[in-house]
Structure 1
Amino acid sequence: MALEAFSLAGKIALVTGGGTGIGLGISKALIDAGAQVVITGRRETVLQEAVKELGDQAFYRVNDITDKTAIPQLVKDIETNIGPIDILVNNAGIHHKALAQDTSDFDFERIIQTNLLSVFSLTRECANYMLERKSGSIIMISSMAGLFGIDKVVAYSVSKTALTGLVNTLVTEYSKSNVRVNAIAPGWIESNMFLNAINQDEKRKQQITNRIAMDHFGKPEDIGNAAVFLSSEAARYITGVILPVDGGATVNF
């Protein structure tokens, strides 16, 4: 059956920042497709609640992705005690909203450290195992802010734009070993934090809704379904793609 190509049965995925929002939506979708999922984050109580919701195919590890010295042990722990990491979803990230002139060096560097440098460190470590096995799927969670200009998010935008360069280069180095590297660029996705923020700024809300070609915001599972596809055999000849999941916002005028 053709649908078997979309199955992730027997696969193990690592999803950073998997306890809430888009990360949780991705984790649910991967599990629904048959994978076991390890979620990471800094807050153990959040991870514990997420695992309860996700069920017995989910595991968690408390980890601060910016602590690069802890990354090798994190990956070794998962590889040894849970199983080989077939899928890596680099979802963890932080945001900073300010005009460029009001963004300090500290804030800029903090965003780059979390959203880019830590992503590279974890990807490199997981790839050590994937390349040896000659199999793997690596997904970066980028953003439409990495595809077109949005005001007041200069550091975030730069960090997400840089992921495109990271994807492109890793494709040239990893493809011969059958390790695929892609990115998903979410649009405006529903979450409590997002909805609360835009409901307090009617002008910004109107600006956002005007930009989206479709008539509604996305949901975390929309990103999760894209991650399932890119991680499955159905996408076995797809690498180096930056996939917008944004209701047409990237191309809409």
Structure 2
Amino acid sequence: MGTGIFSLTKKTALITGGGTGIGFGIAQAMINAGANVVITGRNTEKLLEAQKLLGENCKVITFDVTQKSAIPQLIQEIESTIAPIDILVNNAGIHLKKWALDTSDEEFENIIQTNLLSVFSLSKACARKMAGRKNGIILFIGSMAGMFGIDRVSAYGTSKAALTGLMQNLVTEFSAHNIRINTIAPGWIESPMFLSAINSDPERKQKITNRIAMDGFGTVDDVGHAAVFLSSAAARYITGVVLPVDGGASVNF
């Protein structure tokens, strides 16, 4: 249970894509800090598996963030049946690894729909409620691919770079309502999907390893702890920042 200035006791967090990977790590860290969490995702089975591990302070709602017209109803349902949302973590996202010349317009648009447009819709719906309470935290989950160029991720990298622009502009409007917005940019974080991908591409694995200044890859806990900090009173005067959790990869040559 969280104590002191880093505590999230009595806070409720909505975490999209919270059933696996980084979303699950954030959910776990926030629960450990005292929060109640609501995790959403498209796969009910994975959400229920996560709920078993996360315990009684976790609620589950199956939801596809690309169904933007249903987002206000989702937020209303959570606020009226569970609790007001204090923290929104826009974690749900999809990836595409393809050369730009082989990426169709439809594939590009699909990435933008999930990774950017749904984030705006969710943030807007939550901010409407948060503004009335004069309090709220919104987190974006960015990426190294949004900070520098990486081959074969033009659609994904563009969607993550655009989050920074969205954050900066929302800060100018939402700060008047005491809503803070920050972005966490994870580096290369260990997950079954990531390890499987790089182990099948030794050359890319070596390139990544050389880029990271510290030793080894990050963990979902590293991202989770950063999310707890940015959501806590310890970060009360921090808004509009992109915080890399990357072992120095973004500055290392």
Name the TM tier (shorter chain).
over 0.9
Q: Which residue is equivalent to 1:67?
A: 67
Specify the alignment match of 1:235 in structure 2.
Answer: 235
Instruction: Map 1:85-164 to 2 at 5 A.
Output: 85-164=85-164
Partners of 1:149 and 1:193 lie apart in 2 by 21
Q: What is the identity, as a one-letter code, of the residue corresponding to 2:191?
A: S
Classify the secondary structure of the residue corresponding to 1:66.
coil
CA distance in 2, matches of 1:252, 1:72: 42
Secondary structure of 2:9's aligned partner: coil
Work out whether 1:51 is the aligned partner of 2:51. yes
Shift of 1:4: 0.7
The whole-number CA distance in structure 1 between the counterparts of 2:197 and 2:52 is 28
The match for 2:170 is 170
In 1: Cα distance, 2:214 partner to 2:64 partner: 36
- The answer for the alignment partner of 2:222 in structure 1 is 222
Tell me how far 1:73 sits from its aligned partner: 1.0
In structure 2, the gaps of 5 or more residues are none
Runs of 4+ in 1 over 4 A off after TM superposition: none
Superposition deviation, residue 197 in structure 1: 1.1
CA distance in 1, matches of 2:122, 2:174: 15
Which string of whole-angstrom CA distances, capped at 9 and with x for unpartnered residues, describes residues 104-155 of structure 1? 0010000000000000001000000001100000000000111111010000
How far 1:239 moved relative to its partner? Answer: 0.2
Q: Distance in 2 between matches of 1:201 and 1:158?
A: 23
Aligned to 1:29: 29
Shift of 1:176: 1.4
- Which shifted more, 13-22 or 65-74? 65-74
How far apart in 2 are the matches of 1:200 and 1:97?
14
Once the two structures are aligned, what percentage of the paired residues are identical? 66
Deviations 1:50-88 (A, max 9, x none): 001000000010000000111011100100011000000
Note the alpha carbon deviations across 1:29-64, whole angstroms, 9 max, x for none.
000000000000001111011001000000010000
SS of residue in 2 equivalent to 1:92: coil
Q: Does 1:192 pair with 2:184?
A: no
Corresponding residue for residue 16 of structure 1: 16
**1:197-252 CA distances to partner (integer Å, 9 max, x unpaired)?**
11111101101100000111000010000000000000000000000000000000
Q: CA RMSD in A?
A: 0.9
| SS state at 2:214 partner | coil
In structure 1, distance between residues paired with 2:183 and 2:23: 14
Letter in 1 for 2:207: Q
Is 1:204 aligned to 2:204, yes or no?
Answer: yes
TM-score (structure 2 length as normaliser): 0.99
Matches of 2:197 and 2:160, distance apart in 1: 21
How many residue pairs get matched?
252
Q: Which consecutive residues of structure 1, in runs of 5 or more, have no partner in the other structure?
A: none
- SS at 2:131 equivalent: helix
Give the TM-score normalised by the residue count of structure 1. Answer: 0.99
The match for 1:182 is 182
The CA distance in 2 between the partners of 1:220 and 1:186, in whole Å, is: 9
